[in-house]
């Protein structure tokens, strides 16, 4: 007998593989190594211990946000994805797995503009999306006091970003060039 998170992680895996036959939900490497990608997202959740409200943007096919939402059902997740097919997939997964997720189908700037102005994030996650030094400052005003930003990237160090400091870098399980880099607003 399996537990509920394991069932949901398996269901998510199956949905990724099924949808990817017709739509480019995740790239070929992720499809071939889907179990390792899911395991890495669960590992990241154990490191980050998400709570409160989480924003993941550039959510793509849901890695790492969907596995993190599965293992952290008490946390409210907001996923932002501009690609309409991936956005539809994320909505389907959130509904099928009954996840505590709100899916926003737009670019980050436009999604933030329509989110409730009082919405603040305890954690922001992003996996290899653009240049953090360009988008992190835009999010600082939407962060809770003590909020963190987690970058999934190939380098263990963060680029110089005005207003934030790196607090930790953790190597992830999928190889030598997979790191989780945590940032927070710099002390004033």
Map out the domains of the chain with their CATH numbers: 4-185 (3.40.50.150)
Per the CB < 8 A criterion, the answer to whether 108 and 134 are in contact is no
Mean pLDDT for the chain overall: 93
For position 49, what pLDDT does the model report? Answer: 97
Q: Is the per-residue pLDDT at 123 higher than 80?
A: yes
Q: Which of 4-13, 62-71, 165-174 has the lowest mean pLDDT?
A: 165-174
With vertex at residue 145, the alpha carbon angle to CA 140 and CA 146, rounded to the nearest 5 degrees, is 95
How far apart are alpha carbons 148 and 171 in whole angstroms?
18
For position 187, what pLDDT does the model report? Answer: 66
The percentage of the chain sitting over the pLDDT mark of 90, rounded to a whole number, equals 81
Q: Is the per-residue pLDDT at 185 higher than 90?
A: no
Joined together, the tokens standing for residue 185 give 């607003």
Q: Please tell me the total number of residues recorded for the chain in this structure.
A: 188
How far apart are alpha carbons 137 and 41 in whole angstroms?
25
Span 67-85, average pLDDT:
97
Per the CB < 8 A criterion, the answer to whether 90 and 59 are in contact is yes
For position 69, what pLDDT does the model report? Answer: 98
Joined together, the tokens standing for residue 30 give 């992720």
């Amino acid at each position: 007998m399996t537990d509920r998170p394991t069932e949901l992680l398996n269901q998510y895996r199956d949905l990724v593989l099924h949808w990817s036959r017709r739509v480019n939900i995740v790239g070929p490497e992720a499809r071939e190594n889907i179990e390792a990608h899911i395991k890495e997202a669960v590992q990241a959740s154990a490191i980050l211990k998400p709570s409160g409200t989480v924003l993941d943007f550039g959510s793509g096919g849901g890695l790492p946000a969907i596995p993190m939402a599965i293992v952290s059902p008490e946390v409210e997740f907001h996923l932002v994805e501009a690609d309409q097919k991936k956005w539809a997939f994320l909505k389907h997964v959130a509904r099928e797995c009954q996840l505590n997720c709100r899916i926003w189908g737009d670019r980050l700037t436009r999604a933030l503009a329509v989110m409730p102005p009082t919405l603040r994030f305890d954690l922001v996650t992003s996996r290899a999306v653009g240049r953090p030094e360009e988008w992190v400052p835009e999010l600082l005003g939407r962060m809770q006091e003590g909020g963190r930003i987690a970058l999934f990237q190939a380098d263990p160090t963060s680029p110089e970003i005005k207003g934030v400091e790196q607090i930790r870098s953790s190597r992830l399980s999928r190889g030598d060039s997979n790191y989780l880099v945590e940032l927070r607003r710099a002390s004033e």
